[in-house]
């Protein structure tokens, strides 16, 4: 069995070797050094990475599930306890939903689940709110620099637990849950709201404005992870210049080349544009051409 490997040098100077393999039946194996991970969750947070890609548009246009995944991803990298709490909550939620499918389930049993889920919900809720409070000013700062102050943006966190405990929520929703046969309230319904000049970004923002907002979020995420984690993440910018006017491209390059962003990977399908971008970055760089799975250095 072959193990494709990747080396990463930490800020401390130590090296980590991460390997992965996939068997024909689909079984995946991950290694750190010479040891297999028993659970993939053990790898989360080891190598800090912030990635910007065209798929990020789902944070604005898709359901709240995508935005919750985004919060979970950041917090799981920086707080091992958060990962344990969200996993425990989701396991209990799955069991509670199974119980609700039985109309004869005793109310006392559901109350027991409420008591077990409450501390996990409270930890997740507090962590998400703190994260959003810390990201907000950074997102606003980066967006102002990318847009040269032409617009203002905001992000806010909404949760069923705002002003109410999980037990109070479940008591309020009890009759509805008996009819619908699933848990209708809780942190699994949390969401982020994005605004441009006071209006919903999803409806009022142009493609360029939405792309700039997503960039501002990822740059804020980079700074947050760097400050909390204690080392500089790798920054991956995949097809990042699409839908950006040249002024915003200039402003982005100015940001990532003058601030302490460490190692950056840029990808673009337009070689002429990428060459021009690389020329403007006043830092050592390497060029690689990828075609049909083949990689050549230029």
Confidence band, pLDDT 50/70/90 cuts, at residue 12: low
pLDDT of residue 3: 41
pLDDT of residue 160: 96
> Cβ–Cβ contacts within 10 Å for residue 210, how many?
21
For residue 264, CA distances in Å to 110, 117, 216, 257, 284 come to: 49, 40, 16, 10, 11
Q: Can you give the C-alpha Rg of the chain in angstroms?
A: 22
CATH of 44-297, one of 1.10.150.120, 1.20.120.1770, 1.20.1050.90, 3.30.1330.90: 1.20.1050.90
127 Cβ contact list (under 8 Å, min separation 6): 75, 79, 82, 85
Please provide the size of the chain in residues.
Answer: 298
Q: Is-above-0.75 flag for pTM?
A: yes
Confidence band, pLDDT 50/70/90 cuts, at residue 128: very high
234-238/49-52 β-pairing: parallel
Quick: pLDDT tens for 13-51.
567 777 777 777 777 777 776 677 666 556 665 677 888
In whole angstroms, give the CA distance from residue 38 to residue 26: 17
For residue 146, CA distances in Å to 35, 56, 133, 151, 187 come to: 44, 17, 21, 10, 33
Quick: pLDDT tens for 66-80.
999 999 999 988 888
Contact 144, 152 (CB under 8 A): yes
In whole angstroms, give the CA distance from residue 152 to residue 163: 28
pLDDT exceeds cutoff 50 at 264: yes
pLDDT of residue 10: 52
Domain layout of the chain by residue ranges:
1-43, 44-297
């Amino acid at each position: 069995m072959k193990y494709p490997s990747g080396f990463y040098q930490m800020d401390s100077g130590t090296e980590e070797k991460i390997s992965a393999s996939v068997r024909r039946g689909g079984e995946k194996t991950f290694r750190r050094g010479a040891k297999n991970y028993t659970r993939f969750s053990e790898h989360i947070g080891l190598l800090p990475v912030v990635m910007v890609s065209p798929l990020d548009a789902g944070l604005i246009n898709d359901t709240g599930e995508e935005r919750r995944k985004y919060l979970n991803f950041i917090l799981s990298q920086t707080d091992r306890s958060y990962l344990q709490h969200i996993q425990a909550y989701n396991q209990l939620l799955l069991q509670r939903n199974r119980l609700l499918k039985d109309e004869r389930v005793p109310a006392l049993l559901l109350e027991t689940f409420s008591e077990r889920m409450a501390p996990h919900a409270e930890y997740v809720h507090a962590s998400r709110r703190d994260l959003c409070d810390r990201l907000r000013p950074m997102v606003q700062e980066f967006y102002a620099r990318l847009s040269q102050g032409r617009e203002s943006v905001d992000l806010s966190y909404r949760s069923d637990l705002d002003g109410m405990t999980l037990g109070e929520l479940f008591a309020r929703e009890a009759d509805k849950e008996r009819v619908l046969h699933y848990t209708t309230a809780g942190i699994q319904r949390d969401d982020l709201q994005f605004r441009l000049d006071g209006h919903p970004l999803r409806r009022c923002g142009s493609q360029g404005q939405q792309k700039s907002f997503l960039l501002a979020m990822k740059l804020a995420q980079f700074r947050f992870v760097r400050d909390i984690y204690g080392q500089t993440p790798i920054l991956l910018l995949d097809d990042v210049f699409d839908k950006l006017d040249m002024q915003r491209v200039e402003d982005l390059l100015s940001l990532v080349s003058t601030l302490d962003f460490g190692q950056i990977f840029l990808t673009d399908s337009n070689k002429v544009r990428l060459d021009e971008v690389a020329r403007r970055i006043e830092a050592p760089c390497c060029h690689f051409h990828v075609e049909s799975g083949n990689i050549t250095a230029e």
